[in-house]
Amino acid sequence: MKKNITFLFFLVSLSLAVSAQVGVEKTIKGQITADAIPLSGINIINTSSKIKTLSDQYGNFSITAKEGDVLSFSAVDYEPLRKIINKQEFNLGSIVVNMTATSIELREVVVNKHSEITAENLGIIPQNQIKLTPAERKVYTATSTPTDALLNYFSGRTKMLKKEVAVEQKESLMAKLEYLFEDKYYIETLKIPEEHIKGFQYYCVEDADFANALKSKNKTMSMFLIVGLAFKYNKNRENTTEGN
């Protein structure tokens, strides 16, 4: 009889201990990424306790939670995500979250309200004619005939004109980039100091993948890539500062 009472007492104590463990809260640390690139400024909320926080520039965050709590992750241009804290994650005190970017195209400035009225429609220039920029026209003129092409090649004029085309293309990309993001986004989300914004923009348009995303008006890819570029840029800036 005494053994039965002792065993019953043990079971009750064990049950109470397990119940207490389930209801225990502690700080859970985590990192949010999208295809291995850290995401900053992601909103995180514990839907049970309503505690909120944000991820830092490296995608890291910490929040108080208990086993079984549901964490909600959300941000502009990313699909919302909900995650349950399982037993293993709670015991480790850490989680890894991978978010997915939404698909949105870049905005485009419409200068001509009557876009259906073009020089081609009016018969001023032939239909489907290749449109060249001023710098591209200079290159075309310099290489339009074999004689001109040969002379301009050896004189170095063709090389110089092609450099002008590259500069013109960079300026065009810079104009698109300046329109796409406000200074507030660089400063608050990407953690780029205001005095470094212009330099960071030049850093971005030098990246081939980012330049292609801008040219194709793919806002999702542009926003995805600029987060990674900001991460690298800030790292390089920190290393340069420490080196000095």
pLDDT in tens, 133-152: 554 555 456 566 666 566 65
Please tell me the predicted confidence (pLDDT) of residue 211.
86
Please tell me the predicted confidence (pLDDT) of residue 214.
82
CATH 1.10.150.120 for the 27-98 domain, yes or no: no
When the pLDDT of each residue in the chain is averaged and rounded to a whole number, the result is 75
Q: Which two tokens stand for residue 14?
A: 């064990």
CA-nearest of 172, 170, 198 to 183 is 198
**Percent of the chain scored above 70 by pLDDT?**
61
Asked whether residue 123 carries a pLDDT value surpassing 80, the answer given is no
**Cα 15 to chain center, whole Å?**
48
- Residue type for position 52: K
Q: Which two tokens stand for residue 233?
A: 């840029």
Please tell me the predicted confidence (pLDDT) of residue 95.
93
Lowest mean pLDDT among 128-137, 159-168, 181-190, 231-240: 128-137
Please tell me the predicted confidence (pLDDT) of residue 134.
57
Asked whether residue 115 carries a pLDDT value surpassing 60, the answer given is no
Please tell me the predicted confidence (pLDDT) of residue 64.
94
The CA-atom distances, in angstroms, between 206 and each of 11, 23, 192, 210 are: 67, 52, 17, 8
Residue 24, phi-psi category: left (phi > 0), alpha (psi -120 to 50), beta (remainder): beta
Cβ(29)–Cβ(94) below 8 Å:
yes
Torsion of CA 239, 38, 78, 169, to 10 degrees: 40
What is the average per-residue pLDDT within 189-194?
89
Radius of gyration of the chain from its Cα atoms, rounded to whole angstroms: 29
pLDDT confidence band for 8 (50 / 70 / 90): low
Q: How is the chain split into domains, by residue range?
A: 27-98, 134-237
Please tell me the predicted confidence (pLDDT) of residue 179.
75
The CA-atom distances, in angstroms, between 71 and each of 29, 67, 82, 204, 219 are: 12, 11, 6, 33, 27
Residue pLDDT, tens place only, 22-35: 568 999 999 998 88
CA-CA distance, 66 to 23, in Å (whole number)?
6
Beta strands in the chain (DSSP E): 25-34, 37-38, 43-46, 52-54, 60-66, 70-75, 78-84, 94-98
Coil, strand or helix at 190? coil
CA-nearest of 30, 112, 44 to 82 is 44
Cβ(39)–Cβ(78) below 8 Å:
yes
**Percent of the chain scored above 90 by pLDDT?**
20
Cβ(109)–Cβ(45) below 8 Å:
no
CA-CA distance, 59 to 64, in Å (whole number)?
17
Please tell me the predicted confidence (pLDDT) of residue 132.
45
pLDDT confidence band for 236 (50 / 70 / 90): confident
Asked whether residue 20 carries a pLDDT value surpassing 50, the answer given is no
Please tell me the predicted confidence (pLDDT) of residue 63.
95
pLDDT confidence band for 238 (50 / 70 / 90): confident
